[in-house]
């Protein structure tokens, strides 16, 4: 099981990676955002919506709340609006996470999904799921961006954490 500090690190990484992805998508026109692809959710816009709305859904589940409907992935939302929606989710998440203690990760949470099915999982596993869920979909979105001719961002976790080595000094 993950520890709380690792989860917080992955949340910061996801925030950065989602921001990079949405920044590259921001100047794209509707025709590009809605071009069909045989991957992801079928278009870049739908894949981005799935990433953003998936984070919202998981935060609600952490709190034991039920989403009555999965968010509409056919919504003609802009990348800028997605960034705002993601910011609202982060605000909600950031009001929840700081109060957590390590022991809270083993707490069982019961929730219903959008189909009404009842599930129970540890909060730690649910938080980890949100941390890793978007990785696959971001890779699909990067592939779509490349096919659209956009400059795809480098979103690898190690790209985010690594730092340039200090230049050797000579005496």
Let me know: does 62 contact 133? Beta carbons within 8 Å. no
Q: What pTM does this model have?
A: 0.88
Q: Which of 123, 83, 151, 135 is nearest to 1 (CA)?
A: 123
Delimit the domains of the chain by residue range. Answer: 4-102+120-151
From 41, 6, 43, 17, select the one nearest 28 (Cα to Cα).
43
Other beta carbons within 10 Å of 30: 10
Q: How far apart are alpha carbons 100 and 23 in whole angstroms?
A: 31
Determine the pLDDT at residue 40: 85
Q: How far apart are CA 2 and CA 130, in angstroms?
A: 13
Lowest mean pLDDT among 42-51, 68-77, 102-111: 68-77
Report pLDDT digits (tens) over 47-83. 999 999 999 999 999 988 877 777 788 888 988 899 9
CATH of domain 4-102+120-151: 1.20.120.450
Do the beta carbons of residue 166 and residue 101 sit within 8 Å? no
In this prediction, residue 116 has a pLDDT band, given cuts at 50, 70 and 90, of: confident
């Amino acid at each position: 099981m993950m520890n709380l500090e690792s989860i917080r690190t992955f949340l910061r990484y996801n925030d950065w990676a989602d921001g990079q992805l949405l920044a590259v998508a921001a100047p794209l026109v509707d025709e590009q955002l809605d071009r069909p692809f045989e991957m992801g959710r079928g278009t870049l816009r739908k894949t981005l919506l799935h990433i953003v709305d998936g984070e919202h859904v998981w935060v609600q589940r952490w709190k034991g709340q039920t989403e009555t409907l999965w968010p509409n992935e056919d919504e003609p939302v802009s990348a800028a609006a997605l960034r705002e929606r993601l910011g609202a989710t982060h605000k909600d998440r950031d009001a929840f996470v700081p109060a957590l203690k390590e022991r809270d990760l083993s707490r069982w949470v019961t929730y219903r999904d959008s189909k009404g099915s009842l599930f129970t999982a540890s909060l730690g596993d649910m938080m980890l799921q949100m941390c890793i869920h978007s990785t696959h979909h971001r890779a699909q979105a990067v592939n779509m961006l490349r096919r659209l001719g956009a400059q795809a961002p480098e979103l690898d976790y190690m790209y985010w954490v690594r730092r340039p080595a200090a230049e050797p000094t000579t005496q």
